[in-house]
Structure 1
Amino acid sequence: MAKKTSKPTPSEGGATHPHYCSMIPIPERQFEPDVSPNRQRMILVTDRKWVNGTKLKYYFFNGPSDGSPSSWKGTTAQKNTVIQAFKIWKDLGIGLEFEETNDKNEAQVRIGFKRGDGAWSYVGRDVIDIASSPNERTMNFGWDISNDLDTALHEIGHTLGAPHEHQNPNAGIVWDEEAVYTALAAPPNRWDRQTTFFNIIRKIPANEVQGSTHDPNSIMHYPFEAGLILEPVAYRNGINPAGGLSSKDKEFMKQFYPPLTTSDYTELKVSASQLFNIKAGEQKNFRFKPTVSRKYTIETFGRMDTLMVLFEKTAAEEVYLAGDDDSGTGLNSKIQLRLIQGREYVIRVRLYYAEVAGSGSLMVY
């Protein structure tokens, strides 16, 4: 994790090192040759983000009663730390919702507390695209986080789509690589060289990075002791993030998940095209109330890449029905589903890339 509030663990040589978050390696996305580098960059900056307005339900594994190992069960204090961290993210005013559920089958975020398995989370929509089984963890805390709020904030940051900030290629960090490998091989992490390379020394591809500046105070940044960084000179004595969410953390999340209001919605009518007038990374929201129960097609049109998600609005919440991601293909997003007269549906469309600004549209027919 990025920072620990408790004292670092001493190694056999007397040095102290913090616990670090160990990400799960995911193969890099591959594109067809006709997808231009600029189009790839616009897709990769956004492709793991949720559509704004999504409610993420989280579940704590409880041991044999739910079919999971007893080692995945956390204490009440640990769970309360995670719940508090979700509240801190929500209190920024972002457009996502978080809700604890006792049903792992309806949870997107499934949390375990297996000691010795490190702290980690899948990034953004990898939670559902890769860790799709309800019996799989999407997040784990491998040490006692009862008094370690920053660890919980960090892992939830990954779930919201944020990568490790110290791997930002714009940071300009030049490592003393052998010193890093030695430090991470010591307790409490005991990482092999491959794990250390993937989580620290490896740079995130530039086309996946939003913005151009490095934030050493980000909740997504590890602390580093003196002697691990060669350049910039200012970091030779180490980096110690301030703790909590930085101003740039807040700005980053609000950019992708701004608060939603009733004025953010456009009413859809059957066979009436609605033009897009949004920038890459932004989102447009629609409402549709069928007057006839039948199978409908909801489709985007134009040379653009989008993520489209359909929800049914109930008295309590928006229930996910279907989604389609057409990014990097020659296709358009399309959902075909039977919709019921008198019910209200919400369609959320996030734009990755458009060949010509304002050239796309959406239609239900």
Structure 2
Amino acid sequence: MAKKDTPASIVENETSPHYCTMVNVPPVQLPPDVSGMRSHMIVMTRKKWANGTKLKYYFYNGSTDGSPANWKGTTTQKNVVKDAFAAWKNLGIGLEFGETTDRNEAEIRIGFLPGDGSWSYVGRDVIDLVPSPDERTMNFGWDITHEMDTAIHEIGHTLGAPHEHQNPFAGIVWDEEAVYASLAQPPNSWSRETTFHNIIRKLSPTEVEGSTHDPNSVMHYPFGPGMIKEPAEFRNGINPAGGLSAKDKEFVRKFYPPLVAADYIEMKVSQSQVLDIKAGQQKNFVFKPLTSRKYKIETFGAMDTVMVLFERTAGGEVYLSGDDDSGTDFNSKINIRLIKGREYIVRLRLYYAEREGSGSVMVY
């Protein structure tokens, strides 16, 4: 998505700015008996990361890593992306970001293939759907040297944010043929199917946090006159202010609030920890085994959760295992050998529970 206040983002004689292309992935399929608020909370939350995770990003270099040469970006473009990660982190969120030179360690793998559009998988899809280190999870298909918001936008997708102009609560009524005609022209040159998927298609209400539309979101495309019929205030176009809006900041701080030492609860063998949190919230635990052996870390109760286990090392947290029981009749469970004297972190996010405080977690 091109930055609204960057002149280079709209090329003279072109009918529209460069637009981000959403990756088309299969919709979430839940069992028929999973519906209502339970379904809403699972679909809205399941692509979000466990808060406190350090997401590592990798730039393909096209020379020594065996990737195509045209995946390599310039130093300036890579610095724009690094600054965009910093823009999100500087909001004080609990997530961490760090560059790695080993693509096998990276959750986020970035290419700069010209003409392939700018895109990113959404949230945890980058690991659930793109497991190969030889595949990109994010691409920048045009020169983003002067387009910080393009990089912020794509990282927003990686954090789990969808396109705001597809918010079903926006009330936007498109002049569909005008939209198709505009996006068929350069620089996007999209098919009708691509335009529908990225613009006209409404998101399911279950995918959207909140019920209000934010036309200033960094996740919102700018639109020129004549593309929107209703509301009347948008007939002359929508031009986001640029940068992260107040609601963008509210979204990311809700799912990824800052973490401090006091947020970590000590786990002890065979002592149940009540999950007295609301849907969408997270608890963090620290466990220091007194004996090296195989342990079970398990949730109990009628609830949907995702649980992730890390080892805390001098170089940072290392992912060991995880389990997501959302939409099932099972509970999250990790069976793993842990070593005496080491420190482990358990991060558990609640999707939904029949009632607050009705579940628990235990190591035994």
**TM-score interval, smaller chain:** over 0.9
Q: Are 2:123 and 1:121 aligned?
A: no
CA distance in 2, matches of 1:204, 1:32: 20
| Aligned-residue offset at 1:357 | 1.3
Equivalence for 2:72: 73
Please name the residue that 1:44 is paired with: 43
1:3: which partner in 2? 3
Q: Do structure 1's residue 332 and structure 2's residue 331 form an aligned pair? A: yes
1:83 CA displacement: 0.4
Residue 3 of structure 1: how far off its partner (Å): 2.8
Match of 1:312, SS state, is strand
SS at match of 1:353: strand
Q: CA deviation at 1:97?
A: 0.3
Whether contact under 8 Å (1:42, 1:352) holds in the other structure is yes
1:316 Cα deviation (Å)?
A: 2.4
Partner of 1:216: 215
Aligned to 1:176: 175
* Aligned partner letter, 1:309: V
Q: Quick one: distance in 2 between partners of 1:46 and 1:125?
A: 10
Q: CA deviation at 1:2?
A: 4.9
**Amino acid across the alignment from 2:213:** H
Q: Distance in 1 between matches of 2:92 and 2:36?
A: 34
Taking the TM superposition and a 5 Å limit, the aligned residue runs for 1:94-173 are: 94-173=93-172
Residue 207 of structure 1 deviates from its aligned partner by 1.0
Q: What is the distance in 1 between the residues matched to 2:280 and 2:238?
A: 31
Amino acid in the other structure paired with 1:304: M
C-alpha contact 1:3 1:222 (8 A) present in aligned 2: no
TM-score after normalising by structure 1: 0.98
Separation of aligned partners in 2, 1:96 and 1:357: 25
The CA distance in 2 between the partners of 1:67 and 1:23, in whole Å, is: 26
CA positional deviation for 1:7: 4.4
Residue type matched to 2:316 in 1? Answer: E
Structure 1 spans left out of the alignment, 5+ residues: none
**3-state SS of the aligned residue for 1:158?**
helix
**How far apart, in 1, do the equivalents of 2:83 and 2:129 lie?**
26
Following superposition, the deviation at residue 15 of structure 1 comes to 5.0
Runs of 4+ displaced beyond 6 Å? none
Q: Please, which moves more after superposition, 236-245 or 15-24?
A: 15-24
What is the Cα deviation at residue 64 of structure 1? 3.3
| Percentage of identical aligned residues | 70
Q: Specify every segment of 5 or more residues in structure 2 that has no aligned partner in the other structure, as ranges.
A: none
Distance 1:238 1:156 in 2: 25
- RMSD over aligned Cα atoms: 0.9
Report if aligned partners of 1:9, 1:187 keep a CA contact under 8 Å in 2: no
1:75-128 deviation line (CA, Å, top 9, x unaligned): 000000000000110000000000000000000000000000000000000010
Compared with structure 1, are the counterparts of its residues 147 and 2 closer, same or farther at alpha carbon in structure 2 (3 Å cutoff)?
closer
Q: What does residue 306 of structure 1 align with?
A: 305
Please tell me whether the aligned partners of residues 121 and 158 of structure 2 are also in contact (alpha carbons under 8 angstroms).
Answer: yes
Name the residue aligned to 2:199: 200
Instruction: Out of 265-274 and 106-115, give the one that drifted further.
Output: 265-274
Equivalent position amino acid for 1:9 in 2: V
SS of residue paired to 2:289: coil
In the TM superposition, residue 309 of structure 1 has moved relative to its aligned partner by 0.2
Report the equivalent of 2:91. 92
Counterpart of 2:289 in structure 1 is 290
CA distance in 2, matches of 1:7, 1:326: 43
Superposition deviation, residue 313 in structure 1: 0.5
Is the 1:174–1:232 Cα contact (8 Å) retained in structure 2?
yes
d(CA) in 1 for partners of 2:170 and 2:11? Answer: 27
Asked whether the equivalents of residues 9 and 18 of structure 2 are also in contact (C-alpha less than 8 Å), the reply is no
Give per-residue Cα distances to partners, 1:305-326, cap 9 Å, x unaligned.
0010000001221111001000
* Equivalent position amino acid for 1:218 in 2: S
Contact 2:2–2:149 under 8 Å retained in 1:
yes
Query: What is the Cα deviation at residue 9 of structure 1?
Result: 2.7
3-state SS, counterpart of residue 52 of structure 2: coil
SS at match of 1:352: strand
**TM-score, scaled relative to structure 2:** 0.98
CA–CA distance in structure 1, aligned partners of residues 278 and 141 of structure 2: 40
* Number of positions where the alignment pairs a residue of Structure 1 with one of Structure 2: 362
Matched with 1:30 is 29
Q: Distance between the aligned counterparts of 2:323 and 2:331, measured in 1?
A: 9
